[in-house]
Amino acid sequence: MTEKARGYLIIIGGAEDKKGDSIILRQAPKMLSSEDLLTILTTATEKPKEAGHDYKEVFKRLGVKHVEILNINTRDDADNEENADIIKKSKCIFMTGGDQLRITSILGGTRACLEIKNLYENGGIIMGTSAGASVMSSTMVVQGNDNEPARKCTLKMAPGLGLLSGAIIDQHFDQRGRFGRLLCGVAENPDVLGIGIDEDTAVKLFPDLHFEVIGSNAVTIIDGKSIQSSNVSELNPNEILAIMGVTVHTLPQGYGYELQNRKVLRLKDGD
């Protein structure tokens, strides 16, 4: 994790508050000027009109003046020059939930994907919830067992958009019992940091690669660099994972984390 990030990532664990104080989604109007464009990208969902409309209403209520909905549902859409120009004109892209493989299989290698990366590298803001959160890392979780003990050979991963390297992001984390599957991902590659984000909770990643926790629940960090040994590489697939020496942090709002130094931060406040 040595790259220098230039913009901001707001990575949301799903089921964020849309009707109350909406402290996670409120990050958008806090960070945008009155002239900036926020574009809602609905690629992940099979109900783009409904999802786009719902989030547009929320962001308008929170004070974002310029909101556009971009329905990219095919690779032809993703290579369309007009769609790429909308992303280029945006200051913030918000990716809805749905299926993360829809995002990567539709956007991967297209003009739209290039403009999203350019936006981030040039100081823009990328927000994503649920599937839109998982897809931000270089390697993303596609499928795994919920609410079960950590078990070998049960985790399916695939390349993500690559906005954040050196980490695996999982969402709906505590609510769907996903500790075991993220632990397997870290056991398979101890150099990669596991970041599990609860519902109505987000990681706000700053350009210097430290993040702050926002929201009502917690973020779980699984750091595999301290692992002493595991049985993950042994035969007998579907065997229960044995792992020794892994480091785990649970961080609610008011805490943060330095990704490069792998250091927990105690913040003065939770804003």
**Active-site option among 66, 134, 137, 172:** 172
* 130 given a catalytic annotation: yes
**Active-site option among 148, 165, 216, 249:** 148
* 134 given a catalytic annotation: no
First-to-last C-alpha distance (Å) of the chain: 26
In angstroms, the CA 73 to CA 14 distance is 21
**Active-site option among 16, 90, 115, 130:** 130
What are the C-alpha distances in Å from 148 to residues 165, 192, 198, 226, 240?
A: 27, 22, 17, 24, 10
Please, what is the Cα angle at 134 between 267 and 53, to 5 degrees? Answer: 95
* 148 given a catalytic annotation: yes
Q: What is the DSSP string of 155-183?
A: -EEEE---SB-SEEEEESTTTTT-HHHHH
Q: What is the DSSP string of 114-134?
A: HHHHHHHHTT-EEEEETHHHH
What are the C-alpha distances in Å from 57 to residues 71, 138, 177?
A: 16, 31, 31
Of 199, 197, 181, 170, nearest to 241 (Cα)?
181
CB 123 within 8 A of CB 92: no
In angstroms, the CA 189 to CA 105 distance is 24
In angstroms, the CA 267 to CA 264 distance is 10
Residues tagged active-site: 130, 148, 172
